[in-house]
């Protein structure tokens, strides 16, 4: 990234001085040349930018809320109800 910043700084300073001086002196041909050099410098800076890394993945933002598991945890099964007793009926007594 330093290479990109140094290249962009050189293009900006160098081409800016050339363009400013040529405009101040009224040299139209040099103004057009400075604009073309600036466009070429912008292309050079764009080519100097490194390609993004393929393995870089954005992090998941949860904002303090925990993530849900992919599969819910298995809950222990409750004993199955075999017989429903009506309210007020006596419960059976084991002998």
Cα–Cα distance between 69 and 38 in angstroms, integer?
54
Residue 3 belongs to what H/E stretch? helix 2-25
Residue with tokens 């419960």: 91
Spell out the per-residue pLDDT of the chain, length 95, in tens. Answer: 777 788 788 888 888 888 888 888 888 888 888 888 888 888 888 888 877 767 656 666 667 666 666 565 566 666 666 666 666 666 667 66
CA-derived radius of gyration, the chain: 37
Tokens of 15: 């081409």
Cα–Cα distance between 93 and 35 in angstroms, integer?
101
Does residue 15 contact residue 38 with C-beta atoms inside 8 Å?
A: yes
The distance from CA 84 to its chain's CA centroid, rounded to whole angstroms, is 58
CB atoms under 10 Å from CB of 18, counted, come to 17
| pLDDT of res. 65 | 64
């Amino acid at each position: 990234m330093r290479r990109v910043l140094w290249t962009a700084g050189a293009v900006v300073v160098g081409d800016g001085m050339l363009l400013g001086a040529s405009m101040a002196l009224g040299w139209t041909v040099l103004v057009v040349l400075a604009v073309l050099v600036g466009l070429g410098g912008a292309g050079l800076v764009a080519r100097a930018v490194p390609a993004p890394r393929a393995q870089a993945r954005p992090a998941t933002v949860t904002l303090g809320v925990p993530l849900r598991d992919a599969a819910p945890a298995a809950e222990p099964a409750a004993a199955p109800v075999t017989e429903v007793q009506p309210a007020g009926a006596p419960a059976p007594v084991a002998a």
